[in-house]
Structure 1
């Protein structure tokens, strides 16, 4: 992803001819090294080589006063890919009465379609923290798929239909004050009674990190659930 180039290369060769994309490629590779994503080993005859593909996306608007990070083009592409360009719009990504649980008697649906949809939405959360919770919730139900799960995922797409241009705005004049927020439910998962906590951090008015996660702990009270969320936020 780059803020500066208006071109989206179709191949690695095209990207290497653009100075801005070359910088981004090196930054991405350095991230892999810093996070120990891979280990280089000698190739043997028994190894099967799995190919990789670079995907270049311009998530780009910048001026002297601010940066706006958006994936509006990608959002429209996945609406088209999953044939929901003409769907009705939803005002929220998830219904307030929705409560996902194991559906033992529901109608089975195509696993490939559901998993492809969730994978596409997870990528979109890079600039859309407002869908993080419900997308992560849907990602938990990727086996023995039922129609009720797909209905929740489609609700997210209906929400995106009306908010495709929404993104993250970073003004240059914002004050440099780090603020963190956290929240959690209590025994929200019916299966294991674990809590789901969410956190976000702002540097001034700029949102810089966020996550939604089902914790590995079973809280015995609402107070303990809040402490777990705060600890996760501070970490």
Structure 2
């Protein structure tokens, strides 16, 4: 009666013959503009691979309110952006005592969002119902507590339906153990989806 769905809870929906496209370009543009980073140089990756963020007691403190506002605006964007889930999780750890390095990483993440405002997820009509999950664990380890971060993505056919980026609860003594824990987490998620 209302017509074709095009906007729902901040998610933009485009319906085509090949399937549904879900995006949040309006929310992303508003987020970038709110923090004054719309005129800044864009970046092609959400986080630098060379920088390892950790608690840095020697670095200069930054305004906690600004940092918390930035990080608080991003989890909703991860509803259709698995590419930023890992980076948002890393930056969220430093809300209690953010330093200049953390704010710099946050600004880089928002500049990446500005570069990729039109990223969307396709839910294809031509897909089977086979359930598949993939998991991995980082090799870099957390510099503060040595815990690894595991991640995974889950598909029904060719459609991405769920993703996770989570710090492991325990310190792994070997890479094999870390991979085993990540695989177990992935299997738990798959069982929950069935």
Fold shared, TM-score > 0.5 on shorter chain: yes
Name the counterpart of 2:111.
Answer: 158
Q: Normalising by the residue count of structure 1, what TM-score does the alignment of the two structures yield?
A: 0.75
Is the strand fraction higher in 1 or 2? 2
Equivalent-residue separation in structure 2 for 1:224 and 1:100 (angstroms): 24
Name the counterpart of 1:221.
Answer: 174
User: Are the equivalent residues in 2 in contact too, given 1:181–1:200 (CA < 8 A)?
Assistant: yes
Aligned pairs (5 A) from 1:140-179: 140-179=93-132
Name the counterpart of 2:16.
Answer: 63
Q: Which runs of 4+ in 1 moved over 6 A?
A: none
Instruction: Give the secondary-structure state (helix, strand or coil) at the position aligned to 2:102.
Output: helix
**Would you say 1:116 and 2:69 are equivalent positions?**
yes
Equivalent-residue separation in structure 2 for 1:163 and 1:184 (angstroms): 25
Residues 188-197 or 111-120, more deviating: 188-197
Which structure's relative contact order is higher, taking Cα pairs within 8 Å and 6+ residues apart?
2
Gaps of 5+ in 1: 8-20, 22-55
Aligned pairs (5 A) from 1:26-45: none
Name the counterpart of 2:79.
Answer: 126
Residues 58-67 or 84-93, more deviating: 58-67
Instruction: Give the secondary-structure state (helix, strand or coil) at the position aligned to 2:79.
Output: coil
User: Are the equivalent residues in 1 in contact too, given 2:131–2:155 (CA < 8 A)?
Assistant: yes
Gaps of 5+ in 2: 189-194
User: Are the equivalent residues in 2 in contact too, given 1:196–1:214 (CA < 8 A)?
Assistant: yes
Which of 150, 161, 171 is 1:208 aligned to?
161
User: Are the equivalent residues in 2 in contact too, given 1:87–1:161 (CA < 8 A)?
Assistant: no
